[in-house]
Structure 1
Amino acid sequence: MGEFLHSVAGFPAILFSAALPLVLGFWLLVALGCADADSFDSDLDAGAVGLGGVPVAVAASLVTAVGWITSLSGSILIGRAAPAGMVHAAADVVLLAASLLLAWCVTRCFVRPLARLRADHG
């Protein structure tokens, strides 16, 4: 349990760990009817990064969740495999970039069918 908590609170997973409660809180407000899933659509065009067609909140939530899972898993693996020092720090920086890239790719794969579904029913 200590290794899990250390990884959640360590770099790079802490970046996603900080965003995850915000995402969960937002979706709780949507579920309670206090907010709308399309609340951020006028503020940001997700189509510019290939994530258009669904509400921005959906795309951002998927990026956050996948990024958190990836960076957390990678942090645990790096903690077990990489020695302390510069090698560990470099591996963490590479993990952050890989987590962001993988989160974007997975989100893009999920968003495309959802966008088509939304267009067919809208």
Structure 2
Amino acid sequence: MREFLSVIFGFPTFLYSLALVVVLVYWIAAVIGLVDFGESSIDLDIAEHADVSVDDLGTIAGYVVAFGLSGVPFSIVVTLLVVIGWTLSTLAGIWVLAWVPTLPLQIVAGLVVLGACFALSIVIAARIVRPLRGAFVTEYARHNSDLIGQTCTITTGSVDEKQGYAQVAQRGAGLLIQVWAPSPNTLERGSQALIVEYDGAARRYLVQPMDAVA
């Protein structure tokens, strides 16, 4: 027991232990109704981040899509990453770091373990997320149809047939959506556009400049 406690409160596992406490507090708050579980969704067609800049939103969405973590509530993604990372780090602390002799080597080995656990947690979480996406299709489909006809603000430098992101103001928060538009067009960061269609297969929205609407 003493060995286990020294591992979970030692480097690098204590970082995951702190994150695990935050996750546990969140889920307790969700169970008793202090947090709305539905408000933490990040479909990566639609990502809600009221407290970060639009530039950061585009970066976050790009990474989450690239890692295959889209399609489920963001709270579930974070929980999986933390729990998996904590488990791997704890096991590494017991089976690997305990045999490292000196403090400098322990720090170096701890950094390696931290990076390896984070990378492996992404891979494992992506595998777990894949079969869970179907449970959230109905909710996301409702949001997708609701956005058609609304205006959005482009958050990327340009929008073409291959890439683009935009922010939609909804319920006082910023919703990030993946968008596209035929080239050439006048859309650039900060431009206003109209959402005219949703492509369910590509999971993105067709937009057009507001000056074209007029």
How far 1:85 moved relative to its partner?
3.2
Aligned twin of 1:40: 40
Identity %: 31
Aligned twin of 1:53: 71
Question: Partners in 2 of 1:98 and 1:27 — Cα distance?
Answer: 26
Give the 3-state SS of the residue equivalent to 2:25 in structure 1: helix
Aligned twin of 1:73: 91
Q: Does 1:11 align with 2:29?
A: no
Going by fraction, where is strand more abundant, 1 or 2?
A: 2
| Normalised TM-score (structure 1) | 0.87
Question: Partners in 1 of 2:121 and 2:113 — Cα distance?
Answer: 12
How far 1:89 moved relative to its partner?
2.1
Give the 3-state SS of the residue equivalent to 2:117 in structure 1: helix
Structure with more relative contact order (C-alpha pairs < 8 Å, separation 6 or more): 1
How far 1:100 moved relative to its partner?
0.2
Contact 1:13 1:72 in 2 (8 A): yes
Question: Partners in 2 of 1:48 and 1:56 — Cα distance?
Answer: 15
The aligned amino acid for 1:12 is P
The aligned amino acid for 2:125 is T
What does the per-residue CA deviation read over 1:45-83, in whole Å, with 9 as the maximum and x for residues that have no partner? Answer: 443542110010000010000001111111112243221
The aligned amino acid for 1:26 is Y
- Give the superposed CA RMSD: 1.7
- How many residues matched? 121
Aligned twin of 1:103: 121
Aligned twin of 1:85: 103
Gaps of 5+ in 2: 42-47, 50-56, 140-214
How far 1:94 moved relative to its partner?
0.9
After the TM superposition, which segments of 4 or more aligned residues of structure 1 sit over 6 Å from their partners?
none
